[in-house]
Chains A and B, each alone.
Chain A
Amino acid sequence: MREALSANGGPRVGVYICHCGKNIAGLVDVQRLTEYAATLPGVAVARDYKYMCSDPGQVLIQKDIAEHKLDRIVVAACSPLLHERTFRSATEAGGLNPFYFQMVSIREHASWVHTDKEEATRKAQDLVRAAVHRVIYHESLERRRVPINPAVLVVGGGIAGIHAALTIANGGKRVYLVEREPTIGGHMAKFDKTFPTLDCAACILTPKMTAVRAHPNITLWTYSEVSQVDGYVGNYKVKVKRRPRYINEELCLGCLECIPACIYKEAKVPDEFNLGLSKRRPIYIPFPQAVPQVVVIDPETCIEFKSGKCKKTCVEACGERNAIDFRQTERIEEIEVGAIVLATGFKTFDAGRVPYYGYGVYPNVYSALEIERLVNASGPTGGEVVLRDGRKPERVAIIHCVGSRDENYNVYCSRVCCMYSIKLAHLIKERTEAEVYNFYIDVRTPGKGFEEFYTKTLAEGVHFVRGKVGQVSDWATTPEEQGKLVIQVEDTLAGMIRRIPVDMVVLSPGLDPQPDAQEVRRMFNISCSNEGWFLERHPKLAPVNTFTDGIFLAGACQGPKDIPDSVAQAGAAAAEAFALIDAGYFELEPTTAYLLAEECSGCKTCIPLCPYNAIAFDAATAKAQINEALCKGCGVCVAACPSGSIQQHLFDDRQIYAEILGVLAGATTAS
């Protein structure tokens, strides 16, 4: 730590330059920067320190405030989005108002993006100078408190949504769980076993599903979607569209007698839950353990809806229970919540997009999720792994990384495909005793017990061939390949091209964001990463928060995750939401607009510009009136006011002009 003391009078600014280890000091000459800062007008003390965000770094500020009678603080370190809060708190702990503080990013905006030491240092000087110019105009501000509605909305009823909802509800808060499918359970409900413990998925999931249904604090709305979100942290107003399932949920007992009674004696409609591997009737239950245990009528295929001339044998079977109601219509429910947890999950990559793997062309090329249904005891074959013609496969190929780690599709690794491929290899071998080949680029098994599971599967005799499969075809070149699917692959360990004839091909697709993720993102006013996953506030330190206060992320909607990670993240999101609503109030940043009434001419320019209707015209005074409770602090009105009579706390004209002047002080004389 070096320090430099200035002899300047007037306001007393303390400037703190962070090395961030070598992150900043590696490119920015922090010593020169500190010495330079000390010469700036108003600066009483300038210091540099290895890690300003650390405890000693923060104490440094507090001690200086007392010893050097500082009244303004500038920290040049990382992004204010990361540590502004930290240093405001340190400023406050030193006895100053926390808003007598300005942060400068010389890491994200200088040392990390430049290569020239001289240029980076000069840029840092300009930025520090701007902050010192600006901070002198800072004012003492109070944070506003808004009350928080203690209810939480959880969107998505997969394992993440279920876990988040139960955690919050167990804490005694009201939870609304909204799921668009007719049942909760999500992808996990479709799995047979989970890796690496080979737990039966249904045995660990369905009790939690039942607990959701039975919980007095949870309102469960399936077959429903959020259609509108208004309001702000603590006070969200949400509209939920509830699709008609043509069954009165209160009256249906889940006896399922209506299903075999349906006029369709043969089930003809591809079953969504079994990925079309079996058929269902127009009146159906997604799977035997579905929650709620309530049937649903699909109006697309139900004869009553198509012609109105059905004998309604289902109504007959329901009898006095009288649960079937063909006149049901869409309903909108309006709820008010304080926090929202998004757990909208993922979609598996469409394997048909990789044309050379033959999915959708050759009947015996399957997606991994289809195999999950085949090995499942309650699946379409009762747990038998068989080909489309009913034969047991003797040789099976599993192709990893379908649509993942591929510049043509998704560049990212989907994290779960290696492990579920190994799991399926084990399960297929167990059920069929077939020769199983896994074709991989890399095997990635970093989780707890994952590598052991991989080793065990190797010991069972599953073959692993390193190489990206070039093609799956039915073009036989030898008698042995006749009638088979042929895998063509470069075995990169053996250093040769191989052709391997198999009966069944299993493609292990990666994970895609939900197709409507962009619409959902807009509705909740959050951001997406380039790949389309919902963006967390900070990848390390705020992994479940979003940039919108009060909206949290759980599970795979934030990025590919396995079940334990989804559950852990759901717990974290629940805890964050709980901490928010349990506090009872939330402190808003004071960056609102305010009126200098004497200056206002009553021109009304500002009024239609405000997106929140926070500005009104006061007829008595013939001036504008700003409702600070409604103002969110964008500053659109401030920029538009012709007389400068609207200002914004922390972004007022004097502060911004000082900043402009500050960054350009060097440029002026250069010309």
Chain B
Amino acid sequence: MEEQRVGKANGQEPTIVAFFCTWCTYTAADLAGTSRMKYAPNVRIIRVMCSGRVDPQFVVEAFAQGADGVLIGGCHPGDCHYVEGNYKTLRRIALLKRVLREMGIEDERLRLEWISASEGDKVARVINDMVEAVRRLGRLDLPGKRKGWDAELLHHDGPTEALAAAAASDGR
């Protein structure tokens, strides 16, 4: 029953997972709320103490579980509540992007933003902007793609019917 999701445009609306640090960006998202700013409903926020807690594997997992985009929000450089956790995030995300590119996950699907506690408007702006960008790219459908990759691995001696079928269902 919990698996039901009949969204707008027949489930074609992108879903974005956001990891926000509790001190800056999560607080800014609260401010956007108390200021009654309106933004796209596609983002699901997960709170962490610091953006530096965001293990690149969380991002990969989110894509694997059906996210079409991942947004990470941390404090501005120099303003990290934990001195320099956000710098660690910056480095990790830069590296991760290279990996994701190899996997065919477009750059715009992973976004890192510095949003301070007072920037509720920036939360709304970034979310709207990212939803637009991801919408243009279309659904990621990594689980679907993965089936294709699995087939590729199983039949590594050459292209097979399964792979060809997966490639066809990929639609791109």
Say if the beta carbon of A547 comes within 8 Å of chain B.
Answer: yes
Contact between A666 and B88, CB atoms less than 8 A apart: no
Contact between B118 and A527, CB atoms less than 8 A apart: yes
Say if the beta carbon of B134 comes within 8 Å of chain A.
Answer: no
Residue of B33, B48, B84, B119 near A79 (CB, 8 A) is B33
- For A636, the chain B residues whose CB sits under 8 A away are 50, 52-53, 82, 85, 88
Q: Which of B24, B32, B39, B117 has the most CB of A within 10 A?
A: B117
Contact between A108 and B2, CB atoms less than 8 A apart: no
Say if the beta carbon of A114 comes within 8 Å of chain B.
Answer: yes
Say if the beta carbon of B54 comes within 8 Å of chain A.
Answer: yes
B130 to chain A, nearest CB (A): 15
Q: Which of A238-246, A362-370, A651-659 contacts B (4 or more CB under 8 A)?
A: A651-659
- For B48, the chain A residues whose CB sits under 8 A away are 635, 651, 656
Residue of B36, B49, B50, B117 near A535 (CB, 8 A) is B117
A406 vs B44: C-alpha distance when bound (angstroms): 37
- For A36, the chain B residues whose CB sits under 8 A away are 2
B82 to chain A, nearest CB (A): 4
- For A522, the chain B residues whose CB sits under 8 A away are 78-79
For B7, the closest partner residue in chain A by CB is: A670
Say if the beta carbon of A619 comes within 8 Å of chain B.
Answer: no
- For A612, the chain B residues whose CB sits under 8 A away are 83
Q: A634-B53, A635-B52 are in contact. Are A79 and B30 (CB under 8 A)?
A: yes
Contact between A663 and B83, CB atoms less than 8 A apart: no
- For A110, the chain B residues whose CB sits under 8 A away are 41
Interface residues of A in 546-573 (CB under 8 A from B): 547-548
B37 to chain A, nearest CB (A): 6
Residue interface mask A509-549, B partner, CB < 8 A = 1: 00000000000001001011110000100000000000110
Say if the beta carbon of A197 comes within 8 Å of chain B.
Answer: no
Say if the beta carbon of A34 comes within 8 Å of chain B.
Answer: no
Residue interface mask B60-72, A partner, CB < 8 A = 1: 0110011110000
Contact between A667 and B55, CB atoms less than 8 A apart: no
A45 vs B116: C-alpha distance when bound (angstroms): 38
A565 to chain B, nearest CB (A): 22
B139 to chain A, nearest CB (A): 6
Residue of B24, B41, B82 near A119 (CB, 8 A) is B41
Contact between B139 and A671, CB atoms less than 8 A apart: yes
A163 vs B32: C-alpha distance when bound (angstroms): 35
Residue of B11, B41, B85 near A634 (CB, 8 A) is B85
Say if the beta carbon of B5 comes within 8 Å of chain A.
Answer: yes
Interface residues of A in 122-177 (CB under 8 A from B): 122-123, 126-127, 129-130
Contact between A653 and B117, CB atoms less than 8 A apart: no
Say if the beta carbon of A217 comes within 8 Å of chain B.
Answer: no
B129 to chain A, nearest CB (A): 15
A535 vs B119: C-alpha distance when bound (angstroms): 12
- For B37, the chain A residues whose CB sits under 8 A away are 113
Say if the beta carbon of A91 comes within 8 Å of chain B.
Answer: no
Say if the beta carbon of A203 comes within 8 Å of chain B.
Answer: no
- For B4, the chain A residues whose CB sits under 8 A away are 666, 669
B168 to chain A, nearest CB (A): 16
- For B26, the chain A residues whose CB sits under 8 A away are 81
Contact between B143 and A663, CB atoms less than 8 A apart: no
A403 vs B171: C-alpha distance when bound (angstroms): 58
For A532, the closest partner residue in chain B by CB is: B118
- For A122, the chain B residues whose CB sits under 8 A away are 5, 7, 41
Residue of A82, A129, A548 near B2 (CB, 8 A) is A129
Contact between B3 and A635, CB atoms less than 8 A apart: no
Q: A114-B41, A530-B119, A663-B44 are in contact. Are A119 and B8 (CB under 8 A)?
A: yes
Contact between B49 and A81, CB atoms less than 8 A apart: no
Contact between B15 and A667, CB atoms less than 8 A apart: yes
A384 to chain B, nearest CB (A): 45
For B70, the closest partner residue in chain A by CB is: A660
Contact between A638 and B53, CB atoms less than 8 A apart: yes
Contact between B50 and A635, CB atoms less than 8 A apart: yes
For A127, the closest partner residue in chain B by CB is: B44
Say if the beta carbon of A648 comes within 8 Å of chain B.
Answer: yes
For A37, the closest partner residue in chain B by CB is: B2
Contact between A108 and B29, CB atoms less than 8 A apart: yes
Say if the beta carbon of A664 comes within 8 Å of chain B.
Answer: yes
Residue interface mask A70-99, B partner, CB < 8 A = 1: 000000000111100000000000000000
Say if the beta carbon of B46 comes within 8 Å of chain A.
Answer: yes
Q: Which of B17, B29, B50 has the most CB of A within 10 A?
A: B50
Contact between A664 and B17, CB atoms less than 8 A apart: yes
- For A635, the chain B residues whose CB sits under 8 A away are 48-50, 52-53
Q: List 5 A-B contacts (CB under 8 A).
A: A109-B30, A547-B81, A664-B65, A668-B65, A668-B143
Q: 8 extra interchain contacts, Cβ-Cβ under 8 A, other than A81-B30, A656-B46?
A: A39-B2, A107-B33, A634-B49, A634-B81, A636-B52, A663-B44, A669-B3, A670-B15
Nearest first, the 4 closest Cβ-Cβ pairs linking A and B are A108-B33, A635-B53, A666-B5, A670-B11
